[in-house]
Amino acid sequence: MTTVTGTAPNEMLQTLGLQRIVAMTGGRSTMEFLAGMHMCHSGGVVQGGFVSGWIDAAMAHAIIGLHHERGDDDVTPVSLELKISFFAPVRPGMLTAEGWIEQGGRSTCFAEGHLLDAQGQVLAKGTSTIRLMSRSRIEAASRAVLGTQ
């Protein structure tokens, strides 16, 4: 697995089943996830929270990648609003989430994304309003809440 900085993905992305970040350039991202049976509810259908998480991650990584290209790694995308539309049941297996910036500003972005199965069928689509915040400030605030340095 690779990321923008070449470091291993964080535990949250591992929990989501991230297999590979394919691309994060030009305000677009492509990520591959492996859905397992442990992510399913009745009938072997992947729980919608995972689907939402995959699309949300792809939209966020489109923003992270674009800011990295600009030399600004102190940006964290924070979802203000997230809407997911489900078109077909998502089954276990390899899936591709793609995200892109539809409209970007200095402090707010509008992003879109979708989830594809191995045959390229769109299973779900998402839109998000995203606030751009300082990564270092968010991390410092989290450390303060957790009581860590």
What value, to the nearest 5°, has the Cα angle with vertex 9 and ends 64 and 115? Answer: 65
Q: What is the pLDDT along the chain (149 residues), one digit of tens a residue?
A: 334 444 456 889 999 999 999 999 999 999 999 999 999 998 899 999 999 999 999 999 999 999 999 999 999 999 999 999 999 999 999 999 999 999 998 899 999 999 999 999 999 999 999 999 999 998 888 888 888 76
* CATH number for the domain harbouring residue 130: 3.10.129.10
Range(s) of the domain holding residue 51: 11-146
In a domain, 2, yes or no: no
In a domain, 1, yes or no: no
48 and 86 Cβ atoms separated by less than 8 Å: yes
Half-sphere exposure of 92 (CA within 13 A, CB side): 9
Please state the φ and ψ torsions of residue 15, each to the nearest 5 degrees. -60, -35
- Domains held by the chain: number: 1
